[in-house]
Amino acid sequence: MRGWLPLLLVFAAGCGLGAEDNFTLGLDEDRCDGTYPICQTTAGCVMGSNKYLEGRFPGSRQFIVSAPEEAIITVRIFFATQVATGVDTEILWHEPGCFDTYQYLSEGADIFLAAGNDQVFEQSRQVFLEGDHLIEVFSDAIAEYAITVDVDAAAR
């Protein structure tokens, strides 16, 4: 039995998880293909810190994130493939009722370069009202992605 232990350790080391597997480890995939009414439009799903969704750019995704008052919502995009960076990537965080909106605009910046070696592009915005927040992600990049979100209480 002792002779098998080194072989078992070598085999286990060779079965490492890929970057995307590490990004989604322990999370449940949400197809995000529903129709949840919000802000005079619809979103595909209600995201939480225990879920992820996959898709392809160019295109857009709309989802809902429930957050407490004065929270920080972080959107993380893992680029599984990176074909062309595009010139217009936007992330919009809407307050409940969509009366206020906070935005990230790439303005031609290379989002793949910003994602770095771990292939994760991350943007955060503080929201101020408790409730359901519509999050919209648009990009003319050509890529396959996975998206996760985190909600953290804002520092006071």
Query: Would you list the domain boundaries of the chain?
Result: 20-153
End-to-end CA distance of the chain: 57
Measured between alpha carbons, how far is 144 from 81 in angstroms, rounded to an integer? 5
**According to the model, what pLDDT value does residue 49 have?**
87
- CATH, domain range 20-153: 2.60.120.380
CA angle at 71 for the pair 131 and 65, rounded to the nearest 5°: 45
Along the 156 residues of the chain, how does pLDDT read in single tens digits?
A: 445 434 333 343 445 567 778 899 999 999 999 999 999 999 999 999 899 999 999 999 999 999 999 999 999 999 999 999 999 999 999 999 999 999 999 999 999 999 999 999 999 999 999 999 999 999 999 999 999 999 998 665
- Amino acid, single-letter form, for residue 36: Y
Residue 137's closest CA among 89, 74, 66, 76?
89
Residue 5 is inside which H or E element, if any?
helix 4-14
Measured between alpha carbons, how far is 106 from 89 in angstroms, rounded to an integer? 5
CA atoms within 13 A on the CB side of 147: 29
Q: Three-state DSSP class for 83?
A: strand
CB 61 within 8 A of CB 44: yes
